[in-house]
Structure 1
Amino acid sequence: MYIDVLVIHKEYRRSMITPQQIRGARAMLGLTQKQLADASGVSEMSVKNIERGSTPDPRVSTMLAMKKSLESAGVEFIPENGGGPGVRLRKVES
């Protein structure tokens, strides 16, 4: 059980996105906070609070739901790799 918790925590930390990445992804896609909330199955207030940074430790399920929705809509999240975390539109294969 302890190992499972460590694996889940490691996966979460690796897939963590920042409030700035969420705002940026939403802006690139032209989504409102309400649209992201609806697509993610979370409350609009959760999106607002997370983007503002006023939720210091948001639920893992909320963050993963928003990340999945934004990725499904066409963005890629770039992890911290020395240049800071980022976000970009996924390249469309032609």
Structure 2
Amino acid sequence: MARTALGLGVRELAELAKVSPDTVARFERGESLRERTVEDLSRALQEAGVIFLAAGETAEGGPGVRLGK
């Protein structure tokens, strides 16, 4: 969701996070990844402008994302 909101392709996010496109695809499918890899993806998305919202911070009550200003 965050990648799409930014208008990034899989390859673009992979480059920003310094991981392979296959790793991004595995992450999006919900497969298990090393904690460090998840942190790299999260950092790349945040640096690109995504703000992660914890459970309870969205209208639906669950976690979510929004774009920064």
Pair in the same fold by TM > 0.5: yes
Mapped to 2, the partners of 1:62 and 1:81 lie a distance apart of 26
How many angstroms does 1:81 deviate by? 2.5
The answer for the alignment partner of 2:7 in structure 1 is 30
Q: Stretches of 4+ moved more than 6 A in 1?
A: none
The answer for the alignment partner of 1:67 in structure 2 is 42
- Any idea what the Cα deviations from partners look like across 1:15-55, whole Å, max 9, x if unmatched? xxxxxxxxx111111000110001001111010011012x2
Q: 1:32-71 residue pairs with structure 2 within 5 A?
A: 32-53=9-30, 55=31, 57-71=32-46
Percent identity between matched residues is 41
Larger Rg: 1
Mapped to 1, the partners of 2:50 and 2:27 lie a distance apart of 18
Code of the aligned partner of 1:87: V
How many angstroms does 1:80 deviate by? 1.8
Tell me how many residue pairs correspond in the alignment: 66
Code of the aligned partner of 1:46: T
Between Structure 1 and Structure 2, the one with more helix by share is 1
- Structure 2 stretches of 5 or more lacking a match? none
